[in-house]
Structure 1
């Protein structure tokens, strides 16, 4: 039994993405390097506990290239079954402060990494369309409560802002300026889209800002994989 578990652990380790030589993990402030765990597009769409909640485009309406925004949110559909006649627990009293968005825009990456792979990364020209839509043709900010994943895609390029569910103390509502998101992606492009180094994308993790700490809040630049069947937003709230 131990041998089987050991070999399984080796297989999982071999399959995990690894930092490229283009840019190594960059902890800030002398901290221990933190593991970045960005979900892939397939990992988000294939998760039974995530559903497409909202879908729209951003950017200049006069421009032919349309940048698609998809927002996936966590649902409890994958939770364990409850026994019949079990009384429904009363919801906790509302906490107004928990729903006041924290503006994460001024926060810096606490760690950053580029990923290598044998397959091709996103096309720079496609990522440029996303950056232009975010930096020059969009106003306001994205809002991501805990359990939300924001995908911004064009052509072969996808940008993901992930804010997964965690312990209650990590489940804040986050706000992030579109233009700042574009600047982060522009920086990841310069550092991580380097064919000579087999670098195919990268990620920025924001683990803390001021008095707040966050659970696996990551901005990642990845290759977009189109689904066989385009998803449609759930009409529920």
Structure 2
């Protein structure tokens, strides 16, 4: 039996309305019909403070290299469906996000440590998470690759079960790199619910 790290499930629990938002946005821009947001977690899943008030500087953590690892040759695995969010996203919004990513065939992004790259439309978001854990790397990928991996989550989780609240997958390992802190999530989303206005 494949064990899936709990970090994504725990990290996503802040999307339940009764809980305080755990992300702060540091940058955003439009990509087609979607909004791309670079966010940082305020606290880790085990409650450790990662961002100090009035700062976007991540609490010092050992990073194995500032040279980004390219994820383009590798892919997601270890799928898990049904996220701990209150409402399932609308399939049409998720398809808009995925199609926008797939259409961006030349663009790429870099995700430093403790960075969530959120691509959202309406009530659905694709979220690439580079969480703080034991193995910490800067990573790089293309928007189209992110779309391809997100499309697989739709195929595994939301298309067979439209009432599903979303799905996730982990990257695991690639070459000699342990990438157990990297994950991709497709789930319900709301800026008002998920993004803190300030620390």
TM bucket, shorter chain: 0.7 to 0.9
Is 1:76 the counterpart of 2:46 in the alignment?
no
Q: Calculate the TM-score normalised by the size of structure 1.
A: 0.64
CA distance in 2, matches of 1:119, 1:152: 19
- Structure 1 window deviating more from structure 2 (37-46 vs 157-166): it is 37-46
Q: Calculate the TM-score normalised by the size of structure 2.
A: 0.75
CA distance in 2, matches of 1:210, 1:151: 26
Corresponding residue for 2:47?
A: none
Corresponding residue for 2:183?
A: 218
Corresponding residue for 1:200?
A: 165
Corresponding residue for 2:148?
A: 183
CA distance in 2, matches of 1:117, 1:101: 31
Aligned length: 180
Superposed displacement of residue 196, structure 1: 5.0
Q: Deviations over 1:91-149 (max 9, x none)?
A: 9xxx9x81111001221224111116795421111111111211113532121111111
CA distance in 1, matches of 2:168, 2:161: 19
Whether the aligned pair in 1 keeps the contact of 2:21 and 2:194 (CA below 8 Å) is no
5+ long unaligned stretches in structure 2: 42-49, 54-59
1:105 maps to which of 63, 72, 76: 72
Q: Which of structures 1 and 2 has the bigger CA Rg?
A: 1
CA distance in 2, matches of 1:46, 1:118: 13
Corresponding residue for 1:142?
A: 109
Alignment of 1:59-74 (within 5 A): 59=32, 66-73=33-40
Superposed displacement of residue 184, structure 1: 1.2
Q: CA RMSD in A?
A: 3.4
More strand per residue: 1 or 2?
2
1:51 maps to which of 24, 48, 55: 24
